[in-house]
Structure 1
């Protein structure tokens, strides 16, 4: 029968840090990290103060040519530290914390989540939730963070040409207007959603009664928009907002009489504006 060694005889051995070992290939990596990790977050809500939701995160840092790997567990550790409300400021803080903890020159975080807005139908006033796809996208280089807010807003678009040439009716479709903005001041998610909805042929609702359905159908008919009109009208509103320094506006109309989509995009880049 073998005898157990006394505790004093045990030798503690330090676990080797393989990731930090040198790499001899001399090839730097632009982005390395974790992708598609879900985490509960609390996002600022204009109506109720905060909204609990589930976000999908992509988190990356750059890796110098002389290091073998990065410490993947530290990305998860950063998420677990931020159970509190997520704001534009706290998101930027996460970028700085990530690059500092992982000793990286640059970093990138994408946070995508469903965001819900309670809306009242235009005639009956019946309330229902509408969901929107929202993303916070942040990058940091040499300690300088940059932050974009991206919102996908589903709306109705009605074709001006169809209305003009038809004796009655006009074809319409559901469209997705995607707005990505970089701001110099605070802006609510709801503000971006409302801006887009106001420039569409008509906005969408989760629940409509018959009088509401009549109202939204007629509103769309009275407010026809080409895909080009949609992006130009949204861009004009963003140009007038001093808080918005740059943006990308896209509209995809899922055509009801074609088996393809109509698409348009406008980009305003703050660097090109200064040139």
Structure 2
């Protein structure tokens, strides 16, 4: 039997590296953890988020301590809240002796929606991502990304057809860098207000008639969609920078139509 005498265990990650190449992001990806999110109605949603956590690694360090990311994630709360992201990010950067860091969390978010005619209620799910970033000099930046499914109806199809027009489901994705609190519901409603028609989890026949006619009366190209949403994002003072994308999953083609507008309002001011 070998002796189990106490001795120092080498810390390989802290060894020097001579290649003179800093790493922009190093860390862990795709780890799931419970979170809680407050909704605009005053309730709290308990869900599971997929986290990714990174720091910038200076050129002279061989590696980072991957286990510390897990310790930080588990050391905050059993259920991480949105309010704890910034303190968690600052702790991560400090403990890993980094100047920059990023925490991303993606999760499903549910909004209770009321059908337009019957008034029947049902839940709609939306894909949400929060990105908290610590930049050089200690600047804290927060981004919210929401994927909003909507209906789009083709203006060209309506114009050239004797009756009917093709429509499809579309995904409108908004990534917004905010300077003040913004509800997820506010961003979702902003997008849905500009679609040919919004989607619902449950519709009765009277509702189905309404949404079909609503879309027909409100045709939108993918270009119209991003421009109309961008116009509202431009006017929202709580948003400093945004990217709006629209992808139409075409019903008469085997490809998607796509458009994107990006704007940094602080730079353009």
Fold agreement, TM-score > 0.5: yes
Equivalent residue, structure 2, for 1:136:
130
Answer whether contact 1:181 1:248 (CA < 8 A) is retained.
yes
How far residue 15 of structure 1 moved from its aligned partner, in angstroms, is: 2.4
1:199 aligned counterpart, secondary structure: coil
Structure 2 stretches of 5 or more lacking a match? none
Counting only pairs closer than 5 Å after superposition, residues 77-116 of structure 1 correspond to structure 2 as 77-83=71-77, 84-87=79-82, 89-116=83-110
Mean CA deviation greater in 146-155 or 120-129: 120-129
Task: Say yes or no: does 1:228 pair with 2:191.
Answer: no
Corresponding residue number in structure 1 for 2:114:
120
Structure 2 match to 1:27: 21
Deviations along 1:72-104, whole A, 9 cap, x unmatched? 1111111113335522x5322222111111001
Gaps of 5+ in 1: none
- Comparing 61-70 with 195-204, which one deviates more in the overlay? 61-70
Pair 1:73 & 2:61 matched: no
**Alpha-carbon deviation of 1:270?**
3.5
Match of 1:152 in 2: 147
- Could you list the per-position Cα deviations for residues 181-240 of structure 1 after superposition, in whole angstroms to 9, with x for gaps in the alignment? 111111000000011011100000111111111111111111111111111111111111
For the residue of structure 2 that corresponds to 1:185, the secondary structure is coil
- Computing the radius of gyration over CA atoms, which structure comes out larger, 1 or 2? 1
Shift of residue 60, structure 1, vs aligned partner: 0.8
Does the 8 Å contact 1:148/1:180 carry over to 2? Answer: yes
SS in 2 for 1:37: strand
**Aligned partner of 1:250 among 236, 245, 254:** 245
TM-score, with normalisation over the residues of structure 1? Answer: 0.92
Q: Residues 250 and 264 of structure 1 are in contact (CA less than 8 Å); yes or no, is this contact kept in structure 2? A: yes
Distance 2:245 2:55 in 1: 28
For the residues of structure 1 that align with 2:116 and 2:172, how far apart are their CA atoms? 21
Of stretches 42-51 and 98-107 in structure 1, the one that deviates more from structure 2 is 42-51
TM-align CA RMSD: 1.8
Q: Which of 212, 216, 221 pairs up with 2:211? A: 216
After TM superposition, give the deviation of residue 122 of structure 1 in Å.
Answer: 1.2
Matches within 5 A, 1:255-274: 255-274=250-269
Quick check: 1:53 aligned with 2:47? yes
Structure 1 CA distance, aligned partners of 2:42 and 2:237?
26
Checking the alignment, whether the CA contact within 8 Å between 1:50 and 1:85 is kept in structure 2 is no
Task: Quote the residue 2:187 is aligned against.
Answer: 192
User: 1:163 is matched with which residue?
Assistant: 158
Cα drift, residue 138 of structure 1: 2.1
Contact kept in structure 2, 1:38 and 1:55, CA below 8 Å: yes
User: What is the total number of aligned residue pairs between the two structures?
Assistant: 267
